[in-house]
Chain A
Amino acid sequence: GAVVSQHPSRVICKSGTSVKIECRSLDFQATTMFWYRQFPKQSLMLMATSNEGSKATYEQGVEKDKFLINHASLTLSTLTVTSAHPEDSSFYICSARGQINQPQHFGDGTRLSIL
């Protein structure tokens, strides 16, 4: 089946650090990529949607200057958490989809811990 690779799987860093998370579709061209965040014992919350070569569309309440998304190719999207603080600690999950009628496939997530 379709594979989405997300890296790194875990990050622990100091407050004020910027962290970049990569999401790659390994065996299909991802026309659209999605970034989710999941806090403990809660469901996934969509942060933003990006189409290759276009600016990302952010969900209400998500700061676009804090969560920078780049989707420069059909196989790679990156999420940069800028100047991360402890409240940004969470499980970040990317997802990719090819054609509109195809399922979304998810990465294994990145657990971000800000000290």
Chain B
Amino acid sequence: DAKTTQPNSMESNEEEPVHLPCNHSTISGTDYIHWYRQLPSQGPEYVIHGLTSNVNNRMASLAIAEDRKSSTLILHRATLRDAAVYYCILRDISGGGSNYKLTFGKGTLLTVNP
């Protein structure tokens, strides 16, 4: 699986936008970019995913570079409840096999200051 690189940690202030970067220079044409987050003592929560175009949903926006070698998860107004570990994961759905499992890296620990 193609790897992703994220900063170990980031800090933000409440009600300010947060831009969480992810580098994936070895991404293939059939890799989807997925973002999950994990709050303390909980299972991961799906945030957003995309392939080539920028994506928006009620939780966040995903900005994908034109060459797809990097992406940015954008939280428009951080709240204290957004404090979590954010994982950027590539998932390839091409070819044979039916599992297309998610492989988690270390992610970015986001701290939100009041």
> How many residues in B have their beta carbons less than 8 Å from beta carbons of A?
22
Q: What residues on B are CB-neighbors of A49 within 8 Å?
A: 99, 101
- Docked CA distance A109–B71 (Å): 29
Q: What residues on B are CB-neighbors of A46 within 8 Å?
A: 101-103
Across the A-B interface, how many residue pairs have beta carbons closer than 8 Å?
55
Q: Which positions 48-62 of chain A face chain B at CB distance < 8 Å?
A: 49, 51, 57
Cβ of A108 under 8 Å from chain B:
yes
Which residue of chain A lies nearest to B47 when distances are taken between CB atoms in the complex? A103
Interface string of B45-70 (1 = CB under 8 A from A): 11001000000000000000000000
Q: How large is the interface on A (under 10, 10 to 19, 20 to 34, 35 or more residues)?
A: 20 to 34
Q: Are B105 and A104 in contact (CB under 8 A)?
A: no
Cβ of B43 under 8 Å from chain A:
yes
- Docked CA distance A95–B46 (Å): 11
- Docked CA distance A91–B104 (Å): 15
Give the distance to chain A from B55, nearest Cβ to Cβ, in Å: 12
Q: What residues on A are CB-neighbors of B99 within 8 Å?
A: 32, 49, 51, 57
Cβ of A72 under 8 Å from chain B:
no
Which residue of chain A lies nearest to B100 when distances are taken between CB atoms in the complex? A100
Q: What residues on B are CB-neighbors of A51 within 8 Å?
A: 98-99
Cβ of A34 under 8 Å from chain B:
yes
Q: Which positions 77-108 of chain A face chain B at CB distance < 8 Å?
A: 91, 93-95, 100-101, 103-108
A103-B34, A103-B46, A105-B46 in contact; A34/B93 too (CB < 8 A)?
A: no
Interface residues of A (CB under 8 A from B): 1, 4, 6, 31-32, 34, 36, 43-46, 49, 51, 57, 91, 93-95, 100-101, 103-109, 111
A-B CB contact pairs (8 Å), 10 listed: A43-B106, A43-B107, A45-B104, A49-B101, A51-B98, A95-B102, A106-B36, A106-B45, A108-B43, A111-B41
Interface residues of B (CB under 8 A from A): 34, 36, 38, 41-46, 49, 87, 93, 98-107
Question: Given A6-B43, A32-B99, 9 more contacts at CB 8 Å?
Answer: A34-B102, A43-B106, A44-B38, A44-B44, A44-B104, A49-B101, A51-B99, A91-B41, A106-B45
